[in-house]
Chains A and B, each alone.
Chain A
Amino acid sequence: MASGVGEQAHGSVASQFYSNEEETAFDMTTSEKVVELLNQAALISTEEKLIVLKQVQELIINKDPSLLDNFLDEIIAFQTDKSIEVRKFVIGFIEEACKRDNELLLRLIANLNMLMRDESVNVVKKAILTLTQLYKVALQVSLSVSDMQEACWDMMTQIKEDVLALLDSDNDGVRTHAIKFTESLIITLSPRTPDSDTPKKQEGDISLDKIPKDHTYIRYDTLCEEGKSALEQLLKFMVHPAISSINLTTALGSLATLARQRPMFMSEVVQAYETLHANLPPTLAKSQVSSVRKNLKLHLVSVLKHPSSVDFQGQISTLLLDLGMSQSEITRCTPATVQPRKRLHHDNALFVLADAPLAEDDEDKEEPAPVVTPKPSSSVGTQSAIDLTAEFLLPLLTPDNVANLVLISMVYLPEVMPASFQATYTPVESAGTDAQIKHLARLMATQMTGAGLGPGLELCKARDEEVKEEDGGAGESSSKDPLIIRKLSAVSLGQAISVVGAPAAYKSPITEEAPQIKKLPEPILPTSQPKAPGASGRKKVFKLADVVQPFSEAQIEKLSNMAIKRILLSEKVIAQSGMSHVRVKLLARLVTQFEGGKKNDLLQFILEDMRGRSELAFSLLYHEYNEYLSQQPSGSLDSYEHCLYTLLSGLQEKPEQRDGLFTKLVLEAPVITDSALEVIQRYCEDESRVYLGMSTLKELILKRPSRQYQYLNVLLNLSSHEKEKVRSTALSFIKRMYEKEHLKDCIEKFALTYMQFLVHPNPPSLLFGAGEDTEVASPWTEETVRQCLYLYLSLLPLNHRLVHELAAVYTEAIADIKRSVLRVIEQPIRGMGMSSPDLLLLVENCPKGAETLVTRCLHILTDKVPPSPELVERVRDLYHKRVPDVRFLIPVINGLEKNEVIQALPKLIKLNPIVVKEVFNRLLGTQHSEGSSSMSPLTPGELLIALHNIDSSKCDMKSIIKATNLCFGEKNVYTSEVLAVVMQQLMEQTPLPILLMRTVIQSLTMYPRLAGFVMNILARLILKQVWKYPKVWEGFVKCCQRTKPQSYNVLLQLPPPQLARSYILCAAVLSLTKEKC
């Protein structure tokens, strides 16, 4: 593999070394080695890879540059390597390669451009460093190889702009590198002059002065402008108030380099140093201030050492004095003034205005700038606004003025001495001397210019305009001077008033106004104290924290409340603009983040028009919930709960909220808290809203399965509510829900639990509602018993099996409860119907103690309809096998066989008269409306006969007589015909029933028209020797007596002895009756 590649490489290289066999062999080995190394590099770890790649670099750049071209692509391929270090290596390689062979840049610039956009700042920084070197190379290449390289140069120009833009990068290190790039750029894009202090290694570097004026696409003017704009950018960057200490240090160093290498910029540099010294960025910490000052000193010294600094020696040494350097040291660093050199400075100063002549003969460097002679006006050009303002200020700084300035400034002094001031303060060595006053004027001028004040600035502006106007017109310098003077005087007056104050006229007003001034916000005040350069502020370093007081809690609260109110009240306006959703979101977001008052305000606002503001309500609710979620797991639901609760109860309090807003709110709320559930419960308990409340509750139960049992419980509790409407609605909802299989158990369990309460000796406190303080010993009442049974009883018709539970409870309950139970079960039992297998089973089993219950059930069942055979069967079984209580039979009596009834009669008629009456009613069919007497096993006649036939040993005669009387009471049933049949049949019996004649007489009394029939009976009785039955005989005589004279015929048929006895008997009877009458 390796050899294969090697041959390939060899093939392409071979042509170059075709002639020399030995060299080819030598080349083979190097080339092979490179191939092998590259192959290795692809597979090994980053650290080893770097070592290998460096070897490759050494081989193809230094040892055998002819190979460079061949392996360029292989190396460049590593630019996408994962490792930052490898990518940085590639950048370094590009730099080395391009330095070795400048033309390679044409191929590699695009790669560099790409790497400069790398995601790693370290790669970007490395790329900037390399670009710093390669920019010069690019310029060189573009000059020497003039065709088809324009695109490359364009790209380089673009990259240059990109790097300059990185002065605003977020990364400190990137900015630092960008500054260094800018420095190098400015040096390249400005002409080197004889007094340039150029490092030896950069002697050969290209600079503006080597650019020909006639190049096809590289324009001298453009480059010159670019250089100047880069310098402007750098200077602007340096006065940024928030510059970091490292950036500032870097920039200071760069300026020093610029000043030394391009003395033409000396003025700008010194001025920048001055400005900085007077206005150290307020963001610097104390130690950073010391570091920066140390640097400033260092760089000032290095600038001072440059011969071109002569014109600025005064300013520089003042600065150095301020920085704590002794005069003797300064003198030591000051170069001995070289007279001819001084001239050169002007040449540099003129560069800005007059670059054309300079470029004309770039060979003439040895000649000290003979082209343009320095003009006074040009020194005004570079003598900046600061210089002018300083000149203007100088005469104004009289001791009086200065004293006033100090007094005024006093009130603006900060409470605490700023760190920068503390660090930089040096005692004023030579107060009151001319030099010091000059320095002071200059300091003030720096401040004023920074703040955009002062005659100098005005003048500069005017001058700039003029330069623009007269551009190319070669304006006469003499015409400028009067203008300048005029402006100066005009401006100076105004400025003097506002800034310094004229000595005499304004003295007193100022001192008087001083206390008032204190209150006025006037952050931009030129410093009047030379000692406090760092403490004062120019416009750019205006520090908000110095002039504003933090608000008190209450103020903050008030302001934020007001702000939110304004958003609240802007409802209509915003709605019109169609941005309501933004407002809603904003409000919800804002309010969620605050506690207390604002929330309530918003909630109240929503409740004022719930329907119209429901969107806001929901948004708020969701935000609250979101807030809660975001604080998981420690978050509390309180705030959300409060919100939901307020909304729901607010809705409840509003009259007539007919639409389903409540339901919607409940159903769309992410979580129903306990308090919200309480509100829902309140809804349910409110008679006017019970239906809304419960249907909402029902929806909750069905649609929120996770907590459905909790919701169901609420509904279940309502099923025993004291208000009838609430209760019945709840019951009907529960009944519907009972059909759902998964809820069934729960409902049933609840119902049974409640019913189980009946077993307790006293009703549990649960029944009296939560708050109520219950006496332990309060007795069961009808009401409380019912409460326990409502739900159960409404479920009973739906699930008959439950009836057994009732029986179980019933047996254990006390008598009072039993009675109540018996009263309330009618409806449900009837609903079940007698065909219910469970009910039949209950009858069949009839738990001990539940007899009355079963009886009651039987009664209820058979009250209106005749008993079914199954029921009769069960009862009969029960009666015969287990509980021989004849009362069981009563409800089903009509279902029994005739003989069974007859058998039971003796027992039946011995019961309570009322019960007996009922029995007879049933038997006689008088009770059923439809008169289904035909269903009765006994006809009325048969019944009466059966009564007569009851064995007197089984039943006392008195009960039988009462029973027969009951029969006679039913005139509708016992008509004369029926009675006639009865009498007929009784009479035919042998022996005659004891009560026969009683019945005859009774019938006769009821129906006198039966007299004839009775005579017939009597006659027949004679045939049956009636006298042998004493009781009947007695009745016979009585009857005869009553029916005389018709009975005489009968009597005459009596055999004589019996007739005689009948007389005796009759007399006795008569006498008795007479007595009675």
Chain B
Amino acid sequence: MIINSDARACSWTDARSRSAAAARGCSRSLGKRGFDVRSFGTGTHVKLPGPAPDKPNIYDFKTTYEQMYNDLVRKDKELYTQNGILHMLDRNKRIKTRPERFQSCKEQFDLVITCEERVYDQVLEDLNSREQESLQPVHVINVDIQDNHEEATLGAFLICELCQCIQHTDDMENEMDELLQEFEEKSQRPFLHTVCFY
């Protein structure tokens, strides 16, 4: 999973809360293991859980984590401390100033992992709509993770393990198919997998 000869790159795209949490957990642990990992959103907005399921907090991609943090502290510090959102934002703001949108990112990756089919479709659509230039392949894999805590944890482990396995392959492109089949069988979930070209 190497692009342009030197960078190990792996991109996360996810917009949803729990899966996003899983993705972040994963990305953290992968980052510790020497991956060059970035997470992205694909939607038009950043949505954070609100006081009720139908009342999420919505920001655009220009909003910094700092601003979100302050906004939520102002709204209901106790609630957002309890559900961990503040903690998450606090950590995020130390990593980068604001969330990124995948579609706006012009960097090239080797592997993109999504946690929801809808997001996978968005990524595919975006990548296919770009003009081909370097023809550098990028593999896109979707691992469906249900939006609940347990699934998110399981999914995080699964993805983490998958990434490790991929990292250990000698020739990712050649072994990917088989590896995914294995994981599919093991985890009993379907993986979507495709390749796009920059």
Report B162-198 CB contacts with A as 1/0, cut-off 8 Å. Answer: 0000000001111011001100100000111111110
Q: Interface residues of A: mostly helix, strand, loop or mixed?
A: helix
Assembly CA distance A290 to B124 (angstroms):
14
- The answer to whether A294 touches B121 (Cβ under 8 A) is yes
Residues of A within 8 A of B134 (CB): 129
Most A C-beta atoms less than 10 A away, residue of B6, B128, B195? B195
Residues of B within 8 A of A285 (CB): 181, 184
- The answer to whether A287 touches B174 (Cβ under 8 A) is no
Residue of A nearest to B137 (CB): A176
Write the nearest CB–CB distance from A560 to chain B, whole angstroms.
32
Asked if B5 CB lies within 8 Å of chain A CBs, one says: yes
Asked if B132 CB lies within 8 Å of chain A CBs, one says: yes
Write the nearest CB–CB distance from B112 to chain A, whole angstroms.
14
Residues of A within 8 A of B5 (CB): 50, 85, 88-89, 92, 126
Contact of A249 among B4, B171, B195 (CB under 8 A): B195
Residues of B within 8 A of A132 (CB): 135
Chain A's interface size range is 35 or more
Residues of A within 8 A of B174 (CB): 121, 171-174
Residues of B within 8 A of A964 (CB): none
Residues of A160-181 whose CB lies within 8 A of B: 171-174, 176-177, 180
- The answer to whether A171 touches B133 (Cβ under 8 A) is no
Residues of B within 8 A of A122 (CB): 2, 171
- The answer to whether B135 touches A184 (Cβ under 8 A) is yes
Residues of A within 8 A of B177 (CB): 172, 244-246, 288
Asked if A199 CB lies within 8 Å of chain B CBs, one says: yes
10 A-B residue pairs with CB within 8 Å: A50-B6, A89-B5, A173-B137, A173-B172, A174-B174, A253-B197, A288-B193, A291-B194, A298-B125, A302-B128
Q: Which residues of B contact A (CB under 8 A)?
A: 2, 4-6, 121, 124-125, 128, 131-137, 139, 171-174, 176-177, 180-181, 184, 190-197
Residues of A within 8 A of B4 (CB): 92
Assembly CA distance A963 to B5 (angstroms):
128
Beyond known contacts A173-B172, A246-B194, A253-B128: 19 more, CB 8 A cutoff:
A54-B6, A122-B2, A122-B171, A173-B137, A176-B137, A184-B135, A201-B131, A201-B133, A245-B177, A246-B173, A246-B177, A246-B193, A246-B195, A250-B197, A291-B192, A294-B194, A298-B124, A298-B128, A302-B128
Residues of A within 8 A of B125 (CB): 298
Residues of A within 8 A of B137 (CB): 173, 176-177, 180, 250
Query: A-B pairs with CB below 8 Å: how many?
Result: 96
Residues of A within 8 A of B136 (CB): 129
Assembly CA distance A1022 to B197 (angstroms):
161
Most B C-beta atoms less than 10 A away, residue of A47, A176, A302? A176
Residue of A nearest to B177 (CB): A244
Residues of A within 8 A of B172 (CB): 173
Contact of B193 among A173, A202, A287 (CB under 8 A): A287
Assembly CA distance A390 to B184 (angstroms):
40
Residues of B within 8 A of A33 (CB): none
Residues of B within 8 A of A88 (CB): 5
> Beyond A50-B6, A85-B5, A184-B135, is A171–B195 a contact (Cβ under 8 Å)?
no
Residues of A within 8 A of B195 (CB): 176, 246, 249-250
- The answer to whether B173 touches A173 (Cβ under 8 A) is yes
Residues of A248-307 whose CB lies within 8 A of B: 249-250, 253, 257, 285-288, 290-291, 294-295, 298-299, 302
Write the nearest CB–CB distance from A196 to chain B, whole angstroms.
14
Most A C-beta atoms less than 10 A away, residue of B133, B135, B172? B135
- The answer to whether A253 touches B190 (Cβ under 8 A) is no
- The answer to whether A85 touches B6 (Cβ under 8 A) is yes
Residues of A within 8 A of B124 (CB): 294-295, 298
> Beyond A184-B135, A253-B196, is A171–B171 a contact (Cβ under 8 Å)?
yes
Write the nearest CB–CB distance from B167 to chain A, whole angstroms.
14
- The answer to whether A290 touches B192 (Cβ under 8 A) is yes
Residue of A nearest to B133 (CB): A201
- The answer to whether B131 touches A199 (Cβ under 8 A) is yes
Report A517-534 CB contacts with B as 1/0, cut-off 8 Å. Answer: 000000000000000000
Residues of B within 8 A of A286 (CB): 190
Residues of B within 8 A of A174 (CB): 174
Most A C-beta atoms less than 10 A away, residue of B131, B137, B177, B194? B194
Asked if A200 CB lies within 8 Å of chain B CBs, one says: yes
Assembly CA distance A971 to B195 (angstroms):
133
Assembly CA distance A257 to B132 (angstroms):
9
Residue of B nearest to A257 (CB): B132
Report A66-102 CB contacts with B as 1/0, cut-off 8 Å. Answer: 0000000000000000000100110010000000000
- The answer to whether B128 touches A180 (Cβ under 8 A) is no
User: Across chains A and B, which 7 residue pairs bring their CB atoms closest together, nearest first?
Assistant: A173-B173, A199-B131, A287-B190, A172-B174, A180-B135, A88-B5, A291-B192
Report A549-588 CB contacts with B as 1/0, cut-off 8 Å. Answer: 0000000000000000000000000000000000000000
